[in-house]
Amino acid sequence: MAMNASSSPTKSSDELVLKSKLWNGRDEPRVAFASVSAEEDKPFNFLHVLFDCAIAGGTAGVFVEAALYPIDTIKTRLQAAHGGGKINLKGLYSGLVGNLAGVFPASAIFLGIYEPVKQKLLETFPENLSAFAHLTAGAVGGAASSLVRVPTEVIKQRIQTGQFTSAPDAVRLIVRREGLKGLFAGYGSFLLRDLPFDAIQFCIYEQLLLGYKLAARRSLSNAENAIVGAFAGAITGAVTAPLDVIKTRLMVQGSANQYKGICDCVSTIAREEGISTLFKGMGRRVLWIGIGGSIFFGVLEKTKEVLAQRHFNSQDSSSFKLD
């Protein structure tokens, strides 16, 4: 939105203040939650951000995983099928409960690390490098959460492809046959896919959110946050689709060790099945992650808002008692 050249100095000053607040993601209603403020010397402020982001992230992760699990199962079976093999459409919720038990802590770790790192980087870097702060924070959060996300993903995909019937059986038999390293099968390909995915998705979301706020000159509604999240998810899902196929093949191969690594996996797929196989299930992936982005970021922002309001009410109550 262009600024009026005939505006009074006071109005121009107000617009600059608004722009500054929106740029830093610290609009008035959410300041209690969103930032680690250098202006307030409160020793527990960082811990509040860490705890609240972990709760918000875990909640959002569980919601989106439960809602879209059947689509994820179909996508996994399509990617794991060799050649023109048919896929089984039964048991689309197989392994859901065990997967949610891993998704909550993984998402909590990611957001619990992402938000404080992002805020610190935004305080350190100039405004024109905000995208770099978002990219870096996303990669750091993804790396930290991968220690939980990879075993969760391995177990989930083995169950989805019919190798096991439950999470406890999957853990026991994988460790017995492949050792503890079996739970981290495809770890390199997971990082190859998920670190760029996390970094790109959150960077796109934060930058779109920033542009939307500057244009609208107000905070966004939950529905608007969800729409922005859908765009961010769909774009990122399309860009990282081949990496997702590689990751799935490496994770579900088990003790057969058909592929010796990422490069061997790519060359074998291209030679035996054609390069188009690397884009297998891409349409469903874009749909799944687009809808997932909408749910995840919608629930995330709503949960953050509820937690921020809780802290605000608690502070008001404390002030009232002191008065």
Query: In the prediction, which pLDDT does 247 show?
Result: 82
Query: In the prediction, which pLDDT does 83 show?
Result: 61
Q: Tell me the two tokens of residue 235.
A: 């774009």
Count Cβ atoms within 10 A of the Cβ of residue 185 and give its class: 0-12 exposed, 13-18 middle, 19 or more buried.
buried
Mean pLDDT, 10 residues at a time, the chain of 323 residues: 43 47 43 36 61 92 92 81 69 86 94 92 90 94 94 90 88 92 87 89 94 88 92 92 86 78 89 88 84 94 88 62 50
Q: Tell me the two tokens of residue 100.
A: 């949610």
Check if the beta carbon of residue 251 is closer than 8 Å to that of residue 192. Answer: no
Which of 234, 206, 225, 232 is CA-nearest to residue 290?
234
For residue 143, how far is the Cα from the chain centroid? Answer: 12
Query: In the prediction, which pLDDT does 40 show?
Result: 39
DSSP 3: P
CATH number of 44-79+94-317: 1.50.40.10
Query: In the prediction, which pLDDT does 84 show?
Result: 58
Which of 206, 230, 204 is CA-nearest to residue 291?
230
C-alpha distances in angstroms, 150 versus 193, 216, 251? 12, 39, 9
Check if the beta carbon of residue 293 is closer than 8 Å to that of residue 233. Answer: yes
d(CA 59, CA 22): 26
- 293 Cβ neighbours under 8 A, 6+ residues apart: 201, 205, 229, 230, 231, 232, 233, 234, 236
Which of 210, 224, 137, 22 is CA-nearest to residue 31?
22
